[in-house]
Amino acid sequence: MLHLEHLYKRLPDDAPIVLCDQDGVLVDFDGALQSQIEARYPDWRPIEPTPDPPPFYTNDLYPDKHTALIWEIANERGFIRNLPLMQPIEDIVGGWSDIMRAGFRIQVCTSPLITPFCAEEKRASLDEHFAPWFGSWVAETAIIIRDKTSVEGAVLLDDKPTIDDSSAAWNHVLFDRACNRHIADKPRVRGWTDPNKVKTIAQAAGVELPRHLR
């Protein structure tokens, strides 16, 4: 499958960078956590009425007394390592390929949990899913950091509804999820098969696309 590494290697060193979040954009952190909660604690009931919009953090769907146990699940060894993909790998690979063919360099930029093995598991997950398509650079170049505003890039593609990007070099582009659909004043990519994703990213980055991609 390693037939797309050339897309990365041919990019110039000064190609604009699309920083790509991992949880909620590439892998389904919240879906996996919800499944674990339901399997382990079938008697738990979410708060009512259901918040509208849905909360960004899964624990906010439940009474506060459950918060510590919910985060214990997320912090278990193997949880991050085995997260399922948000979309079929072919859709994600196609989306990344479109972005790189338009002249952008992609770099994963993700926040770690508190466990000492979280970063290791995040890289292992990236290596499993993306190395067969693009090569080892996806995991090797991933930035795992709490403060994403300190990272250089043109765009941050992230599902978090609000990020204080006033001090960041990049512009925030929302990766569409139910928890952020109430935000109307930011550019949005509606999944990896969104036909307008490259134009949306280019506009947010202030980059003029080649004529054939406009």
Structural domain boundaries in the chain: 5-28+85-209, 30-74
pLDDT in tens, 121-158: 999 999 999 999 999 999 999 999 999 999 999 999 99
Structure tokens at 108: 């994963």
Greatest Cα pair distance in the chain: 57
Residue 203 has pLDDT above 70, yes or no: yes
From CA 88, how far away is CA 12, in angstroms rounded?
Answer: 29
155-158 vs 143-144, strand pairing mode: unpaired
Residue 4 has pLDDT above 80, yes or no: yes
Instruction: Please give the torsion angle defined by the CA atoms of residues 92, 94, 99 and 102, in that order, rounded to the nearest 10 degrees.
Output: 180
- Burial (CB < 10 A; 0-12, 13-18, 19+), residue 1, is exposed
pLDDT value at residue 22: 98
- DSSP character at residue 57: S
SS3 169: coil
- Domain at 5-28+85-209: CATH architecture: 3-Layer(aba) Sandwich (3.40)
For residue 43, name the pLDDT band (cuts at 50, 70, 90): very high
